[in-house]
Amino acid sequence: MFMGDEPIHINAKEGEIAPLVLMPGDPLRAKYIAENFLENSIAENFSIDNKNIANLRNMLGYTGFYKGVRVTVIASGMGMPSMGIYAFELFHYFHVEKIIRIGTCGAVKPTVKVSDLILATSSFSESNFAYTFNDYKEHITYPSNELNSTIMDTANELNYKLHVGNITTMDVFGPYVDYDRLLNRIPKELDIIAEEMEAFGLFHIANYFKKEASCILTAVDSKYSNIVLSSEDREKSLNDMIILALESIIK
């Protein structure tokens, strides 16, 4: 496997990225987290005014401190190919130890309501991402049990309701396709509770490097509901997810 001596997509120097990383999909959400939850992030070389760690493609990233612990937040972009690039470079070139994906998803079980938090225990995908990467033929990838356990304990401490279960990672944006047609192809025993577009790839890359990764999601739509979150409700639910991830990753 060709890796090269330098990362191609993350323009940072050795030591500028913390071993603990939060990864939203949206670059502007990374900026929001840095501005509202991290201390001294502007002083760290990752601000818009100073240096963006992926300035060729505006994949914004910041390093700062949360409760005295150094943390990096960097976006992954949308889909497994983009997630795979950034996760690979973080683990391989910058020696990151833990990544928690924090993203949005569509709920596909009536028990999961819009704005609820979800922790993935596995991700099923029909994608060839893992097979292309290193001939992995299975359709399921798994997060770190240890990191997931920490997240569940932290949710209890924060008194956050957290759905824990299997998700599916798709190559197509869920609301634009027939959910039922796709869900009917997934083994029923997996009891999929949500769909998104990145976790399968993150888990596979983390397992390849023998590093830790987890995925916390906020349900922003549901096949069982016509509810559309107000901007205030959306911000609160996403803030809860961010706090849960930050509190968990520093433990």
Active site residues: 221
Residue environment code for 95-106, b if the CB has 16+ CB neighbours within 10 A, otherwise e: ebebbbbbbbbb
The burial class, CB within 10 Å (0-12 / 13-18 / 19+), for 159 is: exposed
The burial class, CB within 10 Å (0-12 / 13-18 / 19+), for 46 is: buried
User: What's the CA dihedral at 215, 152, 165, 233 to 10 degrees?
Assistant: -70
26: left (phi over 0), alpha (psi -120 to 50) or beta: beta
Q: How far is CA 124 from CA 22, 34, 114, 156, 194, in A?
A: 22, 31, 22, 26, 11
Rounded CA-CA distance 156/3 in Å is: 41
β-pairing, 140-141 vs 69-74, is: unpaired
